[in-house]
Structure 1
Amino acid sequence: MNTQKYFTKIKSGFLLLAASLAIVSCESYLEEQPSTLIDSDYIFTTADGLKSGVVSLYKFNRDRYDAGTEDYMGAVLMSSRSDLALSRTGYTGLMGRYERGVSPVDQGANFASSLFWKHYYKIANKATEIINAAEVAENVEEDVRNQVMAEAKFFRAEAYFYLYRMYNNIFVTTKTVTLDNAFDVINDRSSEAEIFALLNSDLTFAIEHLNWVDTFGRVTKGTAKHVKAKVAMWQGDYTEAKNQAVSLIEEGPHSLVSTTADVFAGDRNHSESLFVIQAQDDLLGGGESTMMNANYVTQYFQISGIEANIEQGGRGFSRILPNLYLQGLLAADPDDTRDDDTYFRLKYYYTSGDNIGEEIEIYEPITDLSNPSSSYLNYYKRLHPSCIKFAQEDDNENSYLNRSNIMVYRLAETYLIAAEAILKSSGDPLPYINEVRKRAKATPLTSVDEQAILDERARELAFEGQRWFTLKRMGQTVIDRQMTSYAGDGEYYPSFLGAKDPRTNWKSYFINWPIAQIDLDLLGPDYPQNDGYN
């Protein structure tokens, strides 16, 4: 495909926007009522059409999670590549171990192109069309115009922010694709100044015009403040990050739920939630079934005398597991409840037969490298600790596929952003990090440094899709140290040695993802690939 076809594809993607409105039922979801008139004039010139266009952005945002590519890789890929994961098997395992997705021409880069590069550019382009149309639409009340633009600007900012954090060499634009510019060639990346100027402008507008409280599932003032704090951390503007995070904590209606058991309970509609992607069974527009939870849960149900059940994690296939480093962080404080069957399941129990109720201990991990257990492979498959954050009470325990709401942003991260931003600017970070620890029954810290922040983020936010970005934001030295020291389980999982060990596979230039060659071919001939991949 050439450059002209690329921009024609962007323009023709508008038809998907229009068509999607016909399938987005909003009787419950986001409380909007798209019209059956789905022509472009209706969408971009009327209040109801513009509101329907905004609803479609939520649908597009869910697409990455709903895509079935390689066992729903798009929902879990970023977690697989962190220093906290043992990426055991499947194509996601290959990606997580840095065996794939490390060259512009390999299949992993092509998967990432579809699931991230094209996905987020599609969102940014649709949002831009809506923003620019709303600015000039006549007979639209000002509060409706501002609400539409605020939500669309949030999604544009988040899309470009995600792309920047993954790929670094990205281009941003505020121009709607038209017949006049559809064949313009993009020859160079945008500067960091251009990227952050747009991110901050969009998020500032969103903060000003969004409400603190809205229909569950919609972005709010708190969502925008949270992301603006994250953007400020990437800029090294720690005072701005502190101000946004503290404002959200102290001025907004949000609060930490009382126990770690409550964080991922029910449909995630509670005071800590800042943005939750909905996938409820009774919502036509509420997403599809995914294997997100199954990727994180072991195959314990293959042991005789135990059936799959939601309490112990549901039905899984052991793709991405908490590694020894993360387990050690969780075990550092015996009172910490985050490894107490709330965020992670460490032990499994018989549910039938003569041993009902007893702990299962038939497989052993490697504890002595000179005399490894004979059953360690089955331990990793069937008895290894699991992340159970993505299991939901009404899931089908007998299916790998389930519809579960997905927590994207929550207030506990805001507290940890505040702690780090204060540490790097002015003030006392202890109250903010200790508020998170207090909820987990962990002993309060008496001092804080960057490593303490990194460790606490691991305990609280592991497998929520933030870790790899945090390591990159903290710098080359940090990500190199964490990946080469802790990723996978190293020699404690011998079959991962050599070509399968992420610690030895890691290269410093992996701090930026390769732009897939299929995408570079659609850009100008001088568009820059990220360093290390040429």
Structure 2
Amino acid sequence: MKTKKYLITTKSSLLLIMALLFIVSCEEFLEEQPSTVIDSNYIYTTEEGLKSGVVSLYKFERDRYDRSTEDYMGAVLMSSRSDLAFSRTGYTGLMGRYQRGISPEDLGARFVSALFWKHYYNIASKATDIINAAEVVQDVDEDVRNEIIAEAKFFRAHSYFYLYRMFNNIYVTTESVTVDNAFDVINNKSSEEEIFALLNNDLDFAVAHLNWDVTFGRISKGTAKHVKAKVAMWQGNWEEAKSQAVSLINEGPHSLVSSTADVFKGNRDHSEQLFVIQSKDDALGGGDVTMINANYITQYFQIPGIEEDINQGGRGFSRVLPNRYLLGLIAEDANDTRDDNTYFRLKYFYTSGDKIGQEIDIYKPISDENPNGVQLARYYQRLHPSCIKFAQEDDDPKNYRNRSNILVYRLAETYLIAAEAIMRSSGDPLPYINAIRTRAGAAPLTSVDEQAILDERARELAFEGQRWFTLKRMGQNVIDRQITSYAGDGEFFPPNLGAKDPRTNWQPYFINFPIAQIDLDLLGPDYPQNDGY
């Protein structure tokens, strides 16, 4: 929220009008209208108009991934700022190492403002317009009306939930912008009670009125239950989190795919997916190319004798890489299949010349055998393990930008939510966490504690945008310990020690992102900046 409401939500409404011009008939929009009636009631006067408005929410949700800001930072920023990543270079590297995005005035905060703060407030505003219009429009079947409202309420809750987890000090509303309130100044943040009341009310409605089986790419009852469980975890309502997660697992049509090799295979349209953002010309709401995969893949193709290949990750530029801590967690069980060629690419092989088929080992990390490494900088740039969760079979291996579908929520996380919620309330968490480990071929656990949950979430969900939020949710002590102990690679990459070391740069108040000064200036004079900034 840029927060004279006018400056955010009026802009949002105008953007939505432009989007709808491409989605619904132009006939009504070609009629000359006074400017004062260009609001949600003008846009949403028919069932088809409301449905088109909902479709536009999917398009706007995808914008964060599609925007080209600093090599598509919006798609990878949250993964770069975790205890599992080595943020090598580029502006994303600066953000991931806590060198930027740490002051309301710096350029990184402005990027975060555009990619997250304004982005999610705009979606929340659009969703609110749809909800309020749908509640009063005439001649709409009640079941259809409730489905429209349910989808819009999911997006509003999803957006406010994202903002709350990043910034903490946020303002929520169920009121549409009108000519009467457009210039109202927001003087204070919403209370946690107000925020969670809105989140839970919206998600309860979504759970009640969405269907289990929906068109691929659309929000379902399962998606809403999954997010409802996540919201309950942030409230410490473990019984509710358990109830929603177990219900989704046992009652819905979803199931874990049979092997880790199948999770990120194809277009992700499988039994485990709960929400997939599609990047395809004829997909719901459109789509565009992104560089999310390129951010996570090394520049192995610069080594003579190896060409770009989707099986080895496609074309990348080594921005954000799995660090030694994460790789060590995956390597703990030799039978764990979440390693080479499923979730990660650990080894690379020559594809031409007299060494074809042989493993490439010309650069090496620091180890007992090589205490200084072998061309260490080249190793991190060209031969370091990569996350290949976002490579897709039909990608162009010679292009940094591709149309790849993005798994946002999936059932594996639901199992881990159930395990943690049961551990913190009542019952046996082992069947749920061990379902994930068994699928991966890893030995089952015999006990579960908070660290076991953290470790299993790392192995299963790394680089899917959830880790930083998990650390924050578990508390100040947890995020401080994990970041200062494991972020980056520390002494194993000496060039990143000192000012480039996220372990050194981390400050406890970074647990909340700063509200950019350009946004704070538009709030009331007493609106609080987050502590420490």
- The alignment partner of 2:93 has SS state of helix
| Aligned partners of 1:23 and 1:284 also within 8 Å | no
Q: CA separation in 2, counterparts of 1:225 and 1:365?
A: 43
* Alignment correspondent of 1:11: 10
Amino acid at match of 1:302: Q
| Aligned partners of 2:2 and 2:8 also within 8 Å | no
* Alignment correspondent of 2:181: 181
* Alignment correspondent of 1:333: 333
Q: 1:44: how far off?
A: 1.3
Cα root mean square deviation, aligned: 1.5
Q: CA separation in 2, counterparts of 1:490 and 1:479?
A: 17
Aligned pairs for 1:262-281 (under 5 A) are 262-281=262-281
Q: CA separation in 1, counterparts of 2:527 and 2:420?
A: 35
Q: CA separation in 1, counterparts of 2:459 and 2:240?
A: 25
Distance 1:475 1:284, change over 3 A: closer
Q: 1:415: how far off?
A: 0.1
* Alignment correspondent of 1:442: 442
- The alignment partner of 2:71 has SS state of helix
| Aligned partners of 1:42 and 1:49 also within 8 Å | no
- The alignment partner of 2:203 has SS state of helix
| Aligned partners of 1:480 and 1:508 also within 8 Å | yes
Q: CA separation in 2, counterparts of 1:521 and 1:256?
A: 47
* Alignment correspondent of 1:29: none
* Alignment correspondent of 1:35: 25
* Alignment correspondent of 1:82: 82
1:411 aligns with 2:385: no
Q: 1:374: how far off?
A: 3.9
1:23 aligns with 2:27: no
Q: 1:283: how far off?
A: 4.1
| Aligned partners of 1:19 and 1:38 also within 8 Å | no
* Alignment correspondent of 1:27: none
Q: 1:490: how far off?
A: 0.4
Tell me which moved more, 457-466 or 358-367. 358-367
* Alignment correspondent of 2:297: 297
- The alignment partner of 1:136 has SS state of coil
Amino acid at match of 1:126: K
| Aligned partners of 2:340 and 2:347 also within 8 Å | no
| Aligned partners of 2:58 and 2:285 also within 8 Å | no
Q: CA separation in 2, counterparts of 1:76 and 1:146?
A: 34
- The alignment partner of 1:523 has SS state of coil
Q: CA separation in 2, counterparts of 1:370 and 1:492?
A: 11
Aligned pairs for 1:130-209 (under 5 A) are 130-209=130-209
Aligned pairs for 1:446-457 (under 5 A) are 446-457=446-457
- The alignment partner of 1:321 has SS state of strand
Q: 1:38: how far off?
A: 6.0
Deviations 1:335-358 (A, max 9, x none): 000002100000000001101011
Q: 1:281: how far off?
A: 4.2
Distance 1:75 1:38, change over 3 A: farther
Q: CA separation in 2, counterparts of 1:11 and 1:360?
A: 55
1:353 aligns with 2:341: no
Deviations 1:286-309 (A, max 9, x none): 311010000000000000000000
* Alignment correspondent of 1:244: 244
Aligned pairs for 1:473-492 (under 5 A) are 473-492=473-492
- The alignment partner of 1:338 has SS state of coil
Distance 1:273 1:284, change over 3 A: closer
Aligned pairs for 1:489-500 (under 5 A) are 489-500=489-500
Deviations 1:366-393 (A, max 9, x none): 1149940241111000000000000000
Deviations 1:131-176 (A, max 9, x none): 0010111111101110110000000000000000000000000000
Q: 1:22: how far off?
A: 3.0
| Aligned partners of 1:345 and 1:385 also within 8 Å | yes
Q: CA separation in 1, counterparts of 2:164 and 2:20?
A: 29
Tell me which moved more, 65-74 or 365-374. 365-374
Q: 1:37: how far off?
A: 4.0
Q: TM-score, normalised by structure 2?
A: 0.96
| Aligned partners of 2:84 and 2:325 also within 8 Å | yes
Distance 1:3 1:97, change over 3 A: closer
- The alignment partner of 1:351 has SS state of coil
| Aligned partners of 1:335 and 1:442 also within 8 Å | yes
Q: CA separation in 2, counterparts of 1:196 and 1:531?
A: 21
- The alignment partner of 1:364 has SS state of coil
| Aligned partners of 2:217 and 2:284 also within 8 Å | no
Deviations 1:302-342 (A, max 9, x none): 00000000000000000000000000000000000000210
Q: CA separation in 2, counterparts of 1:104 and 1:2?
A: 14
Deviations 1:461-492 (A, max 9, x none): 00000000000000000000000000000011
- The alignment partner of 1:409 has SS state of strand
- The alignment partner of 1:408 has SS state of strand
Tell me which moved more, 13-22 or 373-382. 13-22
Q: CA separation in 1, counterparts of 2:485 and 2:57?
A: 40
| Aligned partners of 1:21 and 1:38 also within 8 Å | no
| Aligned partners of 2:55 and 2:284 also within 8 Å | no
- The alignment partner of 1:337 has SS state of coil
Q: TM-score, normalised by structure 1?
A: 0.96
| Aligned partners of 1:234 and 1:473 also within 8 Å | yes
- The alignment partner of 1:214 has SS state of coil
Amino acid at match of 1:210: L
Distance 1:395 1:105, change over 3 A: same
Q: CA separation in 1, counterparts of 2:3 and 2:119?
A: 18
| Aligned partners of 1:35 and 1:48 also within 8 Å | no
Deviations 1:54-82 (A, max 9, x none): 00000110000000000000000000000
Distance 1:275 1:494, change over 3 A: same
* Alignment correspondent of 2:459: 459
* Alignment correspondent of 1:385: 385
Q: 1:282: how far off?
A: 4.3
1:230 aligns with 2:230: yes
* Alignment correspondent of 2:471: 471
Amino acid at match of 2:9: I
Tell me which moved more, 283-292 or 328-337. 283-292
Deviations 1:408-454 (A, max 9, x none): 00000000000000000000000000000010000000110000000
Q: CA separation in 2, counterparts of 1:38 and 1:83?
A: 52
1:220 aligns with 2:220: yes
- The alignment partner of 2:338 has SS state of helix
- Give the unaligned 5+ runs of structure 2: 30-39
Amino acid at match of 1:286: G
| Aligned partners of 2:310 and 2:393 also within 8 Å | yes
* Alignment correspondent of 1:113: 113
Tell me which moved more, 276-285 or 413-422. 276-285
Amino acid at match of 1:194: E
| Aligned partners of 1:238 and 1:425 also within 8 Å | yes
- The alignment partner of 1:276 has SS state of strand
Deviations 1:388-413 (A, max 9, x none): 00000000000000001100000000
Q: CA separation in 2, counterparts of 1:76 and 1:218?
A: 23
Q: CA separation in 2, counterparts of 1:351 and 1:327?
A: 25
